[in-house]
Amino acid sequence: GKVTAARRPLHGTDHVARWMLGVLAKPELQGMAWESASINGEEGVLFTLGGQPVGALSYDIADGCLQNLRFQVNPDKLGGLQPR
């Protein structure tokens, strides 16, 4: 692949939290910013580094709880995304 990503879906808050903290601790991501964005017509978060998109997060909320997180880090699929 072009970038590192989780190879399989992660399940459970503990696994997801540990994975996210590990990703955010990477030195090459220091200075990363995040902004609200529309991801496939839904609320989401766009992560940028040096003004360039490096990741997108979309999510589902049900009964006031976060149910699903979807991360996209493939640069070929991030080109059309812009912060709000």
Question: What's the pLDDT score for residue 83?
Answer: 65
Looking at residue 2, its pLDDT comes to 66
Instruction: Categorise residue 41: left if φ over 0, alpha if ψ from -120 to 50, beta otherwise.
Output: left
Q: In the predicted model, what is the mean pLDDT of residues 40-61?
A: 90
Contact 49, 63 (CB under 8 A): no
Note the residue count of the chain. Answer: 84
pLDDT for position 11: 87
Reply yes or no on whether the pLDDT at 4 is more than 80.
no
**Amino acid at site 58:** S
Output the pTM of the full model: 0.78
Residue 28 CB contacts under 8 Å (≥ 6 apart), including other chains:
none
pLDDT above 90 (res 67): no
Contact of 39 with 57, CB cutoff 8 Å = yes
pLDDT band at 46; cut points 50, 70, 90:
very high
